[in-house]
Structure 1
Amino acid sequence: MTYATVMVSLALDQSNEARLQVAGELAERFEAAIIGVAAAQFAPPLYFTDGAEAQGLIEEGEASVRRRLAELEAQFRTAMKNRGGRAEWRSAMDFPARFILAQARCADIVVSGGQSPAFSDAFALASPKDLVMQAGRPLLVVPDRVDWLDLRSVLVAWKDTPEARRAVTDALPMLRKAGDVTVVEIPEQGDDRSAVMAGVTDVAAWLARHGITASARVLDSARNDTAAAQLEKVAGDVGAGLIVAGAYGHSRFRELILGGVTQHLVTQSSRCVLLSH
């Protein structure tokens, strides 16, 4: 398994430098084609007008969006000019999530920026939470502060769920290029620790059969700290440049309302995260 096509999602109102850098590196490492995508809709103002004034306002807003999409294409092509692989650009006047989800059919992995905890504008931004739920492809979330794809140490956040199993499989190409791989699970209250350890050990053994040496760890059950805080601590301890995790192993509603690991991973700003659902 490899990545033959990398897709990078650009945003109108966010910095795109980090995701372009990481997507370009990813395409180079795997000799993959790269596709840049962006979309936006003109968001009408929250006041009403009519006639020629309304039409003029709409035309001016749409022209501004088209100019911004053209600027993003130029930024993408400049960033990929010296990468050596095949680069393609796709854009549209459309809702970003809808357009990017449709284009994801031709990619092996989608690269996106992170997301601040604040409300996002669906007219201008494809939320990574929406992309990972519906793309049917792994999503590599790149925070703005990251400037390279650091695979010296990779942390697999394991939970025995279909989402986590899919994430580890989707990450195999990157895990093969990693320096150190750590598989860690944080048991929930009431879990049998020996059973949890057996599961994590199974994952490490499965990776070994794919030529990947990984260590297995089980943390203490989350009590004072949240699972997200514990995961952040162990990621810092092992110097992880990438976290691999299943997205929304619990219901998305529960995580969005109460918070959770996925919510944390798409808003933290220190390392890349590969998510699958």
Structure 2
Amino acid sequence: MTFATVMVSLALNQPNDARLQVAGDLAARFEAGMIGVAAAEFTPPLYFTTGEQAQELIDQGEAALHARLGELEQQFRAVVGDRAAASSWRSALDFPARYVLAQARAADILVTGSVPPGFSDVFAIASPKDLVMQAGRPLLVVPDNVSWLDLGTVLVAWKETPEARRAVADALPLLGKAKDVVVVEVLENASEYDACEARLHDVVAWLGRHGIVASARVDESGQGRNVAAKLDAIAADITAGLVVAGAYGHSRFRELVLGGVTEHLVTRTERCVLLSH
């Protein structure tokens, strides 16, 4: 149960300190290699121009992007230092999400930052909202107020879905280093209490066979309430430093629509979140 390669996605116009520190911490804990990745695409002007003037504008814009990508590489190397077993950098002039999704093939886990609700800039940032459903790797979302990966207590947000099963399996290396693991299901139907207990018992037993001691908690106050807010309250109550959850969403005519809990976890979380789809 380990991570051999950690990849961190950097943004051009957002803070990167938190995600870099957590990715470096992750690489150090697992003696893993580390790959930094960033991309940006030239933003077309809002006004129309042609000929030499247009080409000059494009050349200037792309030169500025190359310079910014160079700055991000320097920041990556300065933070990584000797924390990783080996490190490398990848960047390109491309749409960030498309580029990062392609590079994710080289990593065991992808680290990125959270984004504010409603924020979108496909030319400058690989948003976790774009990455989470397509990366094919666990995605660790790091809010800007976090400076290290706190594995004192980990909350596993259980739901009887393939996505939740994948998330717990992907999180095994982290759960193996946690001091306390709590598997929680927010019960939305009181008649399913016994079935919920049986489900959590199976998950806890499965973790135990992997050498991970965990406890189960059925939360009955979720009926008629916002499940995302309830998970936040539980995480605060047990002082969880990491939440593990399945990621849910679907496509709607060129638009990716995330489920309410998933949307909350990538835009409003106050702690690190590992998501898998």
TM-score (norm 2): 0.95
Partner of 2:120: 120
Partner of 1:73: 73
Partner of 1:185: 185
SS of the aligned residue for 2:150 comes to: coil
SS of the aligned residue for 1:266 comes to: helix
How far is the alpha carbon of 1:258 from its aligned partner?
Answer: 8.6
CA distance in structure 2 between the partners assigned to 1:137 and 1:99 by the alignment: 15
Letter in 1 for 2:194: S
How far is the alpha carbon of 1:223 from its aligned partner?
Answer: 3.5
CA distance in structure 2 between the partners assigned to 1:169 and 1:270 by the alignment: 23
SS of the aligned residue for 1:228 comes to: helix
CA distance in structure 2 between the partners assigned to 1:62 and 1:55 by the alignment: 10
SS of the aligned residue for 1:192 comes to: helix
How far is the alpha carbon of 1:19 from its aligned partner?
Answer: 0.4
Show the 5 A alignment for 1:75-224.
75-189=75-189, 192-220=192-220, 222-224=222-224
How far is the alpha carbon of 1:189 from its aligned partner?
Answer: 3.3
How far is the alpha carbon of 1:85 from its aligned partner?
Answer: 1.9
Partner deviation per Cα, 1:29-69 (whole Å, 9 max, x = no partner): 00000000000001111211112111111111111111000
CA distance in structure 2 between the partners assigned to 1:104 and 1:222 by the alignment: 35
Q: Structure 1 residues 161, 74: CA separation in 2 closer, same or farther (over 3 Å shift)? A: same
Letter in 1 for 2:82: N
Q: Structure 1 residues 244, 258: CA separation in 2 closer, same or farther (over 3 Å shift)? A: closer
CA distance in structure 2 between the partners assigned to 1:70 and 1:15 by the alignment: 16
| 8 Å contact from structure 2 (residues 36, 89) kept in 1 | yes
CA distance in structure 2 between the partners assigned to 1:90 and 1:207 by the alignment: 36
Higher mean C-alpha deviation, range 52-61 or range 2-11: 52-61
Higher mean C-alpha deviation, range 21-30 or range 266-275: 266-275
| 8 Å contact from structure 2 (residues 188, 224) kept in 1 | no
Q: Structure 1 residues 81, 267: CA separation in 2 closer, same or farther (over 3 Å shift)? A: same
User: Percent identity, aligned pairs only?
Assistant: 65
Letter in 2 for 1:97: A
TM-score (norm 1): 0.95
CA distance in structure 2 between the partners assigned to 1:259 and 1:251 by the alignment: 8
| 8 Å contact from structure 1 (residues 189, 221) kept in 2 | no
How far is the alpha carbon of 1:192 from its aligned partner?
Answer: 1.2
Question: Superposition RMSD on alpha carbons, in Å?
Answer: 1.7
CA distance in structure 2 between the partners assigned to 1:51 and 1:26 by the alignment: 49
Letter in 1 for 2:169: T
| 8 Å contact from structure 1 (residues 4, 108) kept in 2 | yes
Partner of 1:41: 41
Letter in 2 for 1:27: A
How far is the alpha carbon of 1:252 from its aligned partner?
Answer: 6.1
SS of the aligned residue for 1:273 comes to: strand
CA distance in structure 2 between the partners assigned to 1:161 and 1:251 by the alignment: 15
